[in-house]
């Protein structure tokens, strides 16, 4: 029973944190497979194609709660309107996100449209700028929650009053994001890419409570920085180191990853992927995947290494992604067969 009381307080504390602007947005461990969420300047920045679509699913903390956190996304983007010199183009994209969190059935649904412009700088580099405009809806159902004032000394009496008074059970707002990206590819064996983005530029209000003069219920801006790279060692192996950093209010996250791609078929139509990511002081994330023609499927697992592993036995989250990247024309917009090391010729 004491454990139940303790977990009840944990849920209540989580609920309070979830209502404050310092709470972090949803995230994926496979940040490299969620390009439009990481940076809107990635819309239409498709190094080995001219269109792309994908889906992701994340299931977190199933080992410590009967109501695991589930995050889902689908996205698509394409290159459009190359200029007459074929060294610049527009990128268009769209992103849908759905997040279901905890016993409160706190759900977030977000839809974004992205536009970006990409300009080649000489032969071996590219500068991109992009914008996301979206609509967000967040809802909560408090019927599945218990609160400290409902504890009668032996159990939680759900018929007792004591739940906080909400002005509304949903929040809707316009959300804006902008980003900048730079890529350098001196030859067909080396590719370097870095950029940054800012989310919630308009600092929208997000709260289920009535606005007051003392409470700031505006979302804090979220700053993202990332670095991706690929190095083709030979006709069989490509290594791709990457790094990611995000900061929102007092919450931050640092990640690094290394993925190896193996050309199993010889012509690049079948690839095997394996790698390891690390979220600072939180989790080790092994990942494996397979690429068949234009489809790449990746599975990753967050093994908890923080103090939370005393509760979940290192069982954190698993993530699935499926990405399709293709080319409508063999020569399209970016002025190269591929701006990224590839097994395909």
- Exposure letters 19-29 (e unless 16+ CB within 10 A, then b): bebebbbbbbb
Contact 162, 147 (CB under 8 A): yes
Tell me the domains of the chain and their CATH numbers: 2-326 (2.40.160.40)
Instruction: Look at residue 260 and tell me whether its pLDDT is greater than 60.
Output: yes
Write down the pTM of the prediction. Answer: 0.85
Contact 104, 140 (CB under 8 A): yes
Q: 333 or 206: whose pLDDT is higher? A: 206
Confidence bin at 66 (pLDDT 50/70/90): low
Q: Alpha-carbon distance 285 to 281, whole Å?
A: 12
Q: Which range among 117-121, 218-222, 330-334 shows the weakest confidence by mean pLDDT?
A: 330-334
Instruction: Look at residue 158 and tell me whether its pLDDT is greater than 70.
Output: no
> In degrees rounded to 5, what are phi and psi of residue 40?
-65, -20
Per-residue pLDDT at 69: 87
Tracing tokens 């730079």 back to the chain, one arrives at 182
The total number of residues shown for the chain amounts to 345
Instruction: Look at residue 154 and tell me whether its pLDDT is greater than 90.
Output: no
Q: 296 or 310: whose pLDDT is higher? A: 296
Contact 338, 325 (CB under 8 A): no
- Residue 155 tokens read as 């159990």
Q: What is the DSSP letter of 217?
A: -
Per-residue pLDDT at 47: 85
Mean pLDDT taken over the chain: 85
Per-residue pLDDT at 11: 41
* Residue pLDDT, tens place only, 314-341: 778 999 999 999 988 654 444 445 788 9
Nearest alpha carbon to residue 193 among 96, 126, 93, 258: 126
Nearest alpha carbon to residue 295 among 318, 271, 261: 271
Tracing tokens 């290494």 back to the chain, one arrives at 305
- Residue 151 tokens read as 């504890």
Q: Which range among 15-24, 175-184, 265-274 shows the weakest confidence by mean pLDDT?
A: 15-24
pLDDT above 70 coverage of the chain, percent: 80
Q: Alpha-carbon distance 11 to 248, whole Å?
A: 22
* Residue pLDDT, tens place only, 48-57: 889 999 999 9
Q: Alpha-carbon distance 247 to 133, whole Å?
A: 20
How confident is the model over 206-220, as a mean pLDDT? 80
Contact 142, 163 (CB under 8 A): yes
- Residue 40 tokens read as 């809107």
Confidence bin at 16 (pLDDT 50/70/90): very low
Per-residue pLDDT at 156: 66
């Amino acid at each position: 029973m004491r454990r139940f009381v303790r977990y009840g307080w944990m849920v209540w504390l989580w609920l309070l944190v979830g209502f404050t602007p310092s709470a972090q947005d949803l995230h994926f461990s496979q940040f490299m497979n969620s390009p439009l969420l990481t940076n809107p300047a990635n819309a239409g920045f498709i190094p080995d194609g001219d269109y792309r679509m994908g889906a992701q699913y994340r299931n977190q903390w199933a080992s410590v709660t009967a109501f695991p956190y589930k995050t889902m996304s689908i996205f698509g983007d394409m290159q459009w309107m190359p200029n007459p010199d074929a060294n610049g183009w527009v990128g268009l994209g769209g992103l849908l996100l759905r997040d279901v969190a905890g016993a409160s059935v706190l759900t977030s649904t977000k839809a974004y449209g992205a536009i970006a412009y990409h300009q080649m700088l000489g032969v071996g580099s590219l500068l991109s700028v992009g914008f996301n405009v979206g609509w967000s809806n967040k809802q909560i159902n408090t019927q599945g929650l218990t609160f400290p004032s409902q504890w009668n000394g032996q159990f939680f009496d759900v018929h007792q009053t004591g739940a906080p008074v909400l002005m509304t059970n949903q929040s809707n707002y316009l959300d804006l994001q902008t980003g900048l990206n730079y890529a350098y590819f001196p030859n067909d064996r080396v590719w370097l890419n870095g950029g940054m983005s800012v989310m919630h530029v308009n600092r929208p209000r997000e709260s289920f409570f009535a606005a007051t003069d003392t409470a700031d219920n505006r979302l804090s801006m979220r700053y993202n920085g990332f670095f991706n790279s690929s190095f083709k060692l030979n006709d069989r192996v490509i290594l791709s180191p990457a790094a990611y950093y995000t900061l929102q209010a007092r919450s931050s996250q640092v990640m690094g990853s290394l993925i190896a791609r193996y050309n199993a078929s010889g012509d690049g139509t079948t690839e095997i992927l394996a790698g390891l990511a690390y979220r600072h002081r939180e989790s080790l994330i092994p990942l494996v995947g397979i690429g068949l023609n234009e489809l790449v499927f990746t599975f990753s697992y967050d093994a908890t290494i923080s103090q939370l592993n005393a509760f979940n036995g290192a069982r954190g989250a698993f993530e699935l992604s499926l990405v399709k990247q293709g080319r409508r024309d063999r020569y399209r917009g970016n002025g190269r067969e591929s701006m990224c090391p590839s097994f395909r010729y």
